[in-house]
Every structure is written in structure tokens, then in C-alpha cells.
């Protein structure tokens, strides 16, 4: 047989062998298609939680580049909801520090823009509140506005249900998450260890097939049920849809667990996976030596002493989880190291309420106006009260807290704009950059404006500057001006126009005057009074000589709302 014939036979042999192989491969592919489709759907749904398929959960990370996300429809690995009473201010501050690395609001989290953690403190609304508690809580809300939600909870065993409803409302608003953790303000948790256990899918020596459906807590008694519960995002709806199972004096989640524990043959709605884990989620036994498995602990409740909480955090090596990109860069501002992770301009105001609480209603709304303005233009918003409190020890009137606050916060920004509590933005489309450009022209050009470090106005017919609104640049000049020109004036600690007069006198001295843009007899560039308002004015400042400005401020904010909704609306003066 020749070579040609051999090759022909070989070709026929290959054809005969390959044909059934191709048929077999095609059949296998047809059977595999549904699995590929499911895997693809799992990937798509991992950010939106539209079905119950388990998605891959990535570990917590500390790299800001990896965790920054698009805020139009944010998705988080963990949502953490913390229930507290109004008077638990110190506890909330402690948890901000120890869990999230937030020791103050000088560099605030204007938005929770990492994909790692989304947290909120939930505070029970009260019909009757101690005046001092209400004052402190109102200041806290102004300073940490983004992380406090007030809720109506009638009984202590109802708060789980209320928080689950809030979580569901977030999902409907396109704010989604893989897992939800519910704790009270006296529980410390190890977020990193919780995430590790979820990643392993092994909890309480059980292999969990789908952590999105799990309900993980310590349900042995109603003393431990509210300490900490970890839920998959797909567990929220089935729990709320079965609220009729709730028992008196027991949370809804525990009620469902107990029902199905006592009725094991009943079908669990939504294929929920209940995990009772009294080893990992425990009540603080008052001594670490009383804990049988220290490495097992992911949450510990009923810790009421601050020093014990700090010791436990140290002993258990609990790390902080930063909730916003801005907190990754806490360095002071300098021209050489311009901060890329946070704003270089801050809007700063007072959140201090005087003993008469006259601004109790108006102050939060005025702060909201400023915060919304800052959010709109990408600035920081900083409200301060502690510097006012500390004037008691400085033997000065509380109003001097303004200077202390500016001196403290200025170090972290290129420019600050200060507004008193009774001033608000009336033209919120006008940016600080546009204002600085306008001031640059007033100063005589770019070169001349580079020398300017302080911008303030003196209204028409007034002998005094209006120190309720001013801009100050971060510079050696500014630090010297505040420290030696203003703070040194203890002769005005309690008399005269106090800090306002100290500023007015300092800017007239030859060592500071050349670096001040003094807007003399100017009622409109940076601020105006309500009876002099003209459409387009930037800031309205009420500043009554006598009495509380609350009512005029509230009326002005109401007029601003009307004007923003209908720019052609007729506005009567005073604004």
C-alpha cells in the first residue's frame, strides 16, 4: 500500500473517531450552560442582592485605592447598625474612636465612600428629655450628622425590627451590602474576625452553604439576644415578612429562632439558616480569665466601663475599620503635600448651644444648610462645640471658642470660611472658588491676592467688622495673627465686642494689615444682613443686637427653601 492510500485511510480513521467525540462534547456543553448562566447571574447580583445565590465576599482591606467606590449606587461588605439611647453620647464617641478611628470631626466623613463598612447610630426618640442631654445630643448631631438616625421605638425588644426595616429601605434606595450587623452601644465587635468567619463559611463548627441567608446570634436568653446579630442581606425580607411570630419581651429575630427551634419540622421561610452561637457572641463575664475560648470571640456585650472596653480592644487586638477615604489622610495641610484624599476647603461653624437653648430648633437647620452646601461643592463641614466649653477654664466668654476652633481646624485645610450659627448660605450655587476669584480681582490681581490671608467685611454704617463671616488662609501669617494678634487680647476676654474687637484692632496694625482684604462698607460680597438682601447674595447673617436670632433664622431658611424651589418667587424683606 502506497503512502497516499495510507494517508487517506488515516484521514478516514480520524474522521470516524472525531465525530462521536464532537457529539459528546456538544451534549456536555448543553448541560453545562445553565450552570454558567447561574454563575454569571451570581456575579451580577453580588452588588445588588437581587437573588439568594451566594456571592464571593472579599476580605477587609486598608488600601484606599482598592476600596473607593461610586456613590451613585454604593455597595458595602458590611452594614453596622448600633442602637443607643440619647444620653449615651460618651459611648457613641468611644465607639467612633475604637471601631472607626474617628477621634474628632476636624477631618469629617462627609460620605461613607469605602466599599468596606456602612455604619449608623440609631437613637431612640424621647417625648421627655433632660435639657442638658438634649443640648449635648443636638450638638453631637450637628458635628456627626451623617451617622445618627433618630427612630421611634416603644419597647426595647422592638429595635431589631425597626433597624431591619431601615436596612430594607436602604436596599430599596440602591444602598446595598453583603451582611448586616446589629449591636447595642455596649457591645464591642471584631469586624475583621467576623469577616474571616464569613469568608470561611464555617461558623459554630458548621459549614454554612449560603451566608447571605444566615441569622447568627446568641439566642439562649433575652439578655444576650440584643448584644449582636449578624445577618446575610437575603435574610432581612423573610424575617420582616414573618413579624407575626414576634413574642412579647423577645426580639423578632429571637422569636423566629425559638419558634423554629421548637418546631423543627416546619419549613423556615426564605431558607433562613439560624446559628445560635453562645461561644463566639458572649456577655462580658467581668474578667478575661473567665472566658473559656478567647480566640473564639467575635462580639462581647454588656461592657459598661470605658477602661474595660479599651482593655478588651487591646487584649483582643481589635483593629479599626475606616468608613471614609478622607480619614486615610490625617496629615496637616501644607503646600508641599496637597491632600488628594480629602478637601482643602472647609466650612466651619459653631455647634455650641447656650444654657437658654434658644437656638435648639434653629441651630441644626442652620448647620444642615451649611453641610449641604459643603457636600454640593466637595468641601468639608466642621461644626465645633468643645472649644466653646473650654472657655470656662480660660476665664473668657464662650464666644471666644470661635477663635480656638479656627486655630485648631485651620492646620488641616488651605482655606476656612467661618459662619456664625445665625448665618447661612443663601446662594448655594456660588462656590468658594468663585468667591476667591472675585476677591482676587478686588485685591488687584493674582500676584496681590497671593499676599492675602484674611478676608472680612465691614457693613455700611457699622464701625465694627462683621466677624460672624470671614475667610482665612492656612499660612504662617494666619497662625501669627490668631495667636499674637487675637488670642493675646485677654483685656477683651469678657468685655466690649470681645473676639470681634480683637480681630478689628489686629487687622489695623502694620504687621498684619497688608495681608488683609478689608471689604470696607461692603454689604454683599461675602455676607449681608436680612434687611439688605439682594437676590444672588452669598450669605445672610442675622446677628441681632438683642434677643435670640432663632425665629428670624427659621423664617429666613423657610424663604430660602421657597426661593430654591421657585427662583421667581417674591421674597419680602427682611429675608
C-alpha closest to that of 334 among 412, 434, 429: 412
Least confident of 9-13, 292-296, 530-534: 9-13
Task: Let me know whether 334 and 245 are in one domain.
Answer: no
In angstroms, the CA 575 to CA 572 distance is: 7
Least confident of 44-53, 106-115, 118-127, 455-464: 44-53
In the predicted structure, residue 50 carries a pLDDT above the cut 80: no
At which of 282, 315, 348 does a domain end? 315
| CB-based contacts of 267, cutoff 8 Å, min separation 6 | none
Instruction: Please answer whether residues 145 and 368 qualify as being in contact, where contact means their C-beta atoms are separated by less than 8 angstroms.
Output: yes
**What mean pLDDT is predicted for residues 452-458?**
97
Higher pLDDT, 69 or 368: 368
Q: Where are the beta strands (DSSP E) in 302-459?
A: 345-350, 380-384, 415-419, 423-425, 454-458
Residue 311 lies in a domain: yes
Structural domain of 234: 68-315
| CB-based contacts of 392, cutoff 8 Å, min separation 6 | 398
Task: Let me know whether 253 and 369 are in one domain.
Answer: no
In the predicted structure, residue 339 carries a pLDDT above the cut 90: no
The pLDDT of residue 496 is: 80
Counting the structural domains of the chain, the total is 2
Give Dmax (Cα) for the chain: 122
- The pLDDT confidence band at residue 205, using thresholds 50, 70 and 90, is confident
In the predicted structure, residue 7 carries a pLDDT above the cut 50: no
In angstroms, the CA 435 to CA 439 distance is: 6
In the predicted structure, residue 336 carries a pLDDT above the cut 90: no
Strand partners, 230: 181, 216
Q: Any idea how long the chain is?
A: 575
Task: Let me know whether 133 and 228 are in one domain.
Answer: yes
175-197 pLDDT, tens digit each:
999 999 999 999 999 999 999 99
Instruction: Please answer whether residues 553 and 541 qualify as being in contact, where contact means their C-beta atoms are separated by less than 8 angstroms.
Output: no
Residue 33 lies in a domain: no
**What mean pLDDT is predicted for residues 562-572?**
93
Give the global pTM. 0.86
- The pLDDT confidence band at residue 45, using thresholds 50, 70 and 90, is very low
**What mean pLDDT is predicted for residues 323-349?**
88
Q: Counting Cβ atoms within 10 Å, is residue 403 exposed (0-12), middle (13-18) or buried (19+)? A: buried
Residue 270 lies in a domain: yes
Task: Let me know whether 290 and 421 are in one domain.
Answer: no
In angstroms, the CA 312 to CA 302 distance is: 12
**What mean pLDDT is predicted for residues 416-441?**
98
Angle at 301 between CA 236 and CA 204, to 5 degrees: 60
At which of 284, 315, 346 does a domain end? 315
Least confident of 68-77, 130-139, 375-384, 508-517: 68-77
Q: Where are the alpha helices (DSSP H) in 462-568?
A: 476-480, 498-506, 550-565
In the predicted structure, residue 434 carries a pLDDT above the cut 90: yes
Share of the chain above pLDDT 70, in %: 88
Instruction: Please answer whether residues 397 and 502 qualify as being in contact, where contact means their C-beta atoms are separated by less than 8 angstroms.
Output: no
Task: Let me know whether 166 and 123 are in one domain.
Answer: yes
In angstroms, the CA 203 to CA 179 distance is: 14
The pLDDT of residue 60 is: 54
C-alpha closest to that of 399 among 499, 507, 546: 499
Task: Let me know whether 334 and 279 are in one domain.
Answer: no
Residue 199 lies in a domain: yes
The pLDDT of residue 19 is: 44
**What mean pLDDT is predicted for residues 296-305?**
96
**What mean pLDDT is predicted for residues 19-44?**
42
Residue 544 lies in a domain: yes
Instruction: Give φ, ψ of 292 to 5 degrees.
Output: -75, -35
Task: Let me know whether 238 and 347 are in one domain.
Answer: no
Residue 366 sits in a domain of what CATH number?
A: 3.90.550.10
In angstroms, the CA 346 to CA 380 distance is: 4
In the predicted structure, residue 9 carries a pLDDT above the cut 50: no
In angstroms, the CA 344 to CA 341 distance is: 10
Task: Let me know whether 162 and 185 are in one domain.
Answer: yes
Residue 35 lies in a domain: no
Residue 216 sits in a domain of what CATH number?
A: 3.90.550
Task: Let me know whether 236 and 359 are in one domain.
Answer: no
Task: Let me know whether 82 and 121 are in one domain.
Answer: yes
500-556 pLDDT, tens digit each:
999 999 999 999 999 999 999 999 999 999 999 999 999 999 988 788 999 999 999
Retrieve residue 433's grid coordinates. Answer: 472658588
Q: What is the DSSP string of 255-299?
A: HHHHHHHH-TTSPPGGG-EEEE-TTTEEE--SSGGG-S-GGG-SE
Task: Let me know whether 502 and 402 are in one domain.
Answer: yes
Angle at 397 between CA 395 and CA 399, to 5 degrees: 135
235-253 pLDDT, tens digit each:
999 999 999 999 888 899 9
Task: Let me know whether 417 and 285 are in one domain.
Answer: no
Q: Alpha carbon 324 to chain centroid distance? A: 8
Instruction: Please answer whether residues 236 and 167 qualify as being in contact, where contact means their C-beta atoms are separated by less than 8 angstroms.
Output: yes
Residue 29 lies in a domain: no
- The pLDDT confidence band at residue 407, using thresholds 50, 70 and 90, is very high
Residue 531 lies in a domain: yes
At which of 291, 315, 339 does a domain end? 315
Average pLDDT, the chain: 88
In the predicted structure, residue 42 carries a pLDDT above the cut 60: no
Helix and strand tally (H, E) in the chain?
18, 20
In the predicted structure, residue 39 carries a pLDDT above the cut 80: no
C-alpha closest to that of 100 among 322, 330, 328: 322
Instruction: Please answer whether residues 232 and 238 qualify as being in contact, where contact means their C-beta atoms are separated by less than 8 angstroms.
Output: no
In angstroms, the CA 328 to CA 346 distance is: 17
Share of the chain above pLDDT 90, in %: 77
In angstroms, the CA 449 to CA 428 distance is: 24
The pLDDT of residue 62 is: 58
Is beta strand 117-124 parallel, antiparallel or unpaired with respect to 148-151? parallel
Amino acid at each position: 500500500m502506497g503512502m497516499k492510500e495510507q494517508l487517506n485511510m488515516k484521514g478516514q480513521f480520524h474522521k470516524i473517531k472525531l465525530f462521536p467525540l464532537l457529539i459528546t462534547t456538544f451534549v456536555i456543553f448543553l448541560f453545562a450552560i445553565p450552570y454558567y448562566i447561574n454563575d454569571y447571574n451570581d456575579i451580577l447580583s453580588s452588588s445588588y442582592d437581587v437573588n439568594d445565590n451566594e456571592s464571593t465576599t472579599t476580605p477587609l482591606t486598608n488600601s484606599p485605592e482598592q476600596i473607593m467606590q461610586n456613590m451613585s449606587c454604593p455597595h458595602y461588605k458590611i452594614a453596622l447598625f448600633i442602637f443607643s439611647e440619647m444620653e449615651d453620647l460618651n459611648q457613641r464617641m468611644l465607639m467612633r474612636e475604637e471601631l472607626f478611628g474617628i477621634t474628632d470631626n476636624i477631618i469629617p466623613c462627609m460620605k461613607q465612600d469605602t466599599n468596606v463598612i456602612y455604619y449608623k447610630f440609631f437613637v431612640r426618640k424621647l417625648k421627655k428629655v433632660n435639657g442638658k442631654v438634649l443640648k449635648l445630643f443636638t450638638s453631637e448631631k450637628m458635628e456627626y450628622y451623617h451617622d445618627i438616625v433618630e427612630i421611634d421605638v416603644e419597647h426595647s425588644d422592638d429595635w431589631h425590627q425597626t433597624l431591619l426595616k431601615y436596612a430594607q429601605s436602604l436596599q430599596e434606595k440602591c444602598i446595598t451590602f453583603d451582611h448586616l450587623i446589629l449591636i447595642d452601644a455596649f457591645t464591642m465587635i471584631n469586624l475583621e474576625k467576623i469577616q474571616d468567619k464569613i469568608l470561611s463559611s464555617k461558623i459554630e463548627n458548621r459549614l454554612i452553604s449560603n451566608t447571605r441567608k444566615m441569622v447568627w446570634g446568641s439566642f439562649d436568653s433575652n439578655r444576650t439576644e440584643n448584644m449582636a446579630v449578624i445577618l446575610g442581606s437575603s435574610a432581612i425580607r423573610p424575617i420582616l415578612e414573618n413579624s407575626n411570630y414576634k413574642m412579647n419581651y423577645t426580639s423578632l429575630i429571637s422569636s423566629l429562632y425559638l419558634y423554629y427551634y421548637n418546631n423543627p419540622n416546619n419549613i423556615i421561610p426564605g431558607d433562613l439558616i439560624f446559628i445560635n452561637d453562645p461561644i463566639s457572641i458572649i456577655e462580658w463575664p467581668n474578667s478575661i480569665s473567665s472566658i473559656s475560648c478567647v480566640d473564639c470571640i467575635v462580639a462581647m456585650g454588656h461592657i459598661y466601663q470605658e477602661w474595660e472596653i479599651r482593655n478588651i480592644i487591646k487584649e483582643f487586638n481589635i483593629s479599626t475599620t475606616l468608613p471614609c477615604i478622607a480619614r486615610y489622610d490625617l496629615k496637616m495641610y501644607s503646600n508641599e503635600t496637597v491632600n488628594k484624599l480629602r478637601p482643602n476647603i472647609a466650612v466651619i461653624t459653631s455647634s455650641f448651644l447656650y444654657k437658654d437653648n434658644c437656638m435648639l430648633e434653629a441651630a441644626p437647620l442652620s448647620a444642615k444648610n451649611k453641610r449641604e452646601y459643603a457636600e454640593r461643592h466637595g468641601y468639608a463641614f466642621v461644626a465645633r462645640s468643645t472649644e466653646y466649653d473650654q472657655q470656662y477654664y480660660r476665664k473668657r466668654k464662650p464666644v471666644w471658642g470661635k477663635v480656638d476652633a479656627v486655630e485648631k481646624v485651620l492646620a488641616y485645610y488651605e482655606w476656612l470660611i467661618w459662619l456664625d450659627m445665625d448665618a447661612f448660605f443663601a446662594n448655594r450655587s456660588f462656590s468658594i472658588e468663585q468667591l476667591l476669584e472675585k476677591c482676587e480681582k478686588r485685591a488687584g490681581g493674582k500676584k496681590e491676592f497671593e499676599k492675602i490671608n484674611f478676608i472680612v467685611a465691614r457693613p455700611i454704617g457699622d464701625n465694627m467688622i462683621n466677624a460672624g463671616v470671614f475667610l482665612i488662609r492656612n499660612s504662617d501669617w494666619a497662625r501669627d495673627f490668631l495667636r499674637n494678634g487675637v488670642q493675646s487680647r485677654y483685656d477683651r476676654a469678657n468685655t466690649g465686642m470681645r473676639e470681634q474687637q480683637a480681630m478689628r484692632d489686629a487687622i489695623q496694625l502694620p504687621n498684619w494689615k497688608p495681608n488683609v482684604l478689608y471689604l470696607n462698607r461692603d454689604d454683599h460680597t461675602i455676607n449681608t444682613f436680612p434687611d439688605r438682601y439682594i437676590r444672588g447674595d452669598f450669605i445672610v447673617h442675622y446677628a441681632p443686637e438683642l434677643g435670640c436670632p432663632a425665629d428670624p433664622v427659621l423664617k429666613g431658611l423657610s424663604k430660602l427653601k421657597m426661593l430654591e424651589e421657585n427662583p421667581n418667587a417674591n421674597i419680602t424683606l427682611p429675608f
